[in-house]
Amino acid sequence: MVSKSEFESDFSSKRALANTVVVLSHTSHPGNIGAAARAMKTMGLTELRLVNPDVFPSDIATARASGADDLLEAAKTFPSLADAVADCVYVVGSSARGREFLGETMNVRSACATAVQQTAHGKAAIVFGCEMSGMTNAEVLLCQTLAYIPTNDDFSSLNLGAAVQVFAYELRMAAGLTEGYDATSLQPATQAEIENMYAHLETALVACDFYDPQRPRRLFARLRRLFGRTRLEREEVDIFRGICTAIVHHGRLPR
């Protein structure tokens, strides 16, 4: 059964993604529009807005979307960025350069956390300018926050699709959707089971003349250090005890 708080947290995660729009302004290459749609869909974003794209719709965009064509089909086109973000309560511009912007700047992680908070009140927009020159100065002035992806000073140019992927990923993480598959889950061993294993191990290592309790030389401290890090599972304890039994038995066979 899902608890109330889990339900609420699931609801607010979904609302955060549903209320975040990606705006691509003056995109030159239709392939990048497709790559952006694919990146968005992998992270659960659904609403793509386009400002004056050079070529759209386009088969190249559809091919690069690799199955995210529903986002392309639903994408609305606007004559200006002001129109595209008119209904949004928070507008973040993705920019590789700080420019003459006097406003707030922060990295993509902080900006996505802020955007997710603002989606409680309405739509948030993440804006990406054209591939070569980014947003125009007039577009930058429409943004409340400029956000950067930290990069190598000597090579800072991410592909547009890659930049959208990083923002979309950070939005999903900020919305609390940080989980994926789990490891095959086995039962952890109890402390008593582990202590019994150490006792059995001592018997076996004495039996095979590897260990002399009169001259311990920190062997068990080292073994405890190793096993302590591993968070032993019951099945693993059983394997080791089986090996210990075999060692003890082996020493009793006629040579």
Q: What does the binding site for a copy of itself look like in residue numbers (CB under 8 A)? A: 35, 38-39, 41-44, 66-68, 97-98, 100-105, 107, 109, 146, 148-152, 155-159, 161-162, 165-166, 169, 172-173, 177-184, 186
Closer residue to a copy of itself (CB): 133 or 178: 178
CB of 71 to a copy of itself, least distance (A): 10
Closer residue to a copy of itself (CB): 115 or 146: 146
CB of 234 to a copy of itself, least distance (A): 13
What tokens were used for 136? 């125009």
Name the phi and psi angles at 59, rounded to 5: -65, -30
CB of 246 to a copy of itself, least distance (A): 22
Closer residue to a copy of itself (CB): 65 or 85: 65
Name the phi and psi angles at 76, rounded to 5: -100, 145
Closer residue to a copy of itself (CB): 142 or 204: 142
Closer residue to a copy of itself (CB): 102 or 253: 102
Cβ atoms of residues 160 and 27 within 8 Å: yes
Cβ atoms of residues 130 and 26 within 8 Å: yes
Tell me which DSSP letter residue 107 carries: E
Of 154, 238, 145, whose CA–CA distance to 200 is shortest?
Answer: 238
Closer residue to a copy of itself (CB): 164 or 247: 164
Q: Which residues have C-beta within 8 Å of that of residue 60, sequence separation ≥ 6? A: 29, 30, 31, 34
CB of 200 to a copy of itself, least distance (A): 23
Q: Which amino acid is at 42?
A: T
Closer residue to a copy of itself (CB): 193 or 236: 236
CB of 155 to a copy of itself, least distance (A): 5
Distance CA 55, CA 60 (A): 10
Of 128, 131, 154, 147, whose CA–CA distance to 139 is shortest?
Answer: 128
Cβ atoms of residues 72 and 33 within 8 Å: yes
CB of 145 to a copy of itself, least distance (A): 10
CB of 60 to a copy of itself, least distance (A): 14
Sheet containing 104-107, strands listed edge to edge, beginning at the edge strand earlier in sequence: 76-78, 47-51, 20-25, 123-128, 88-94, 145-148, 104-107
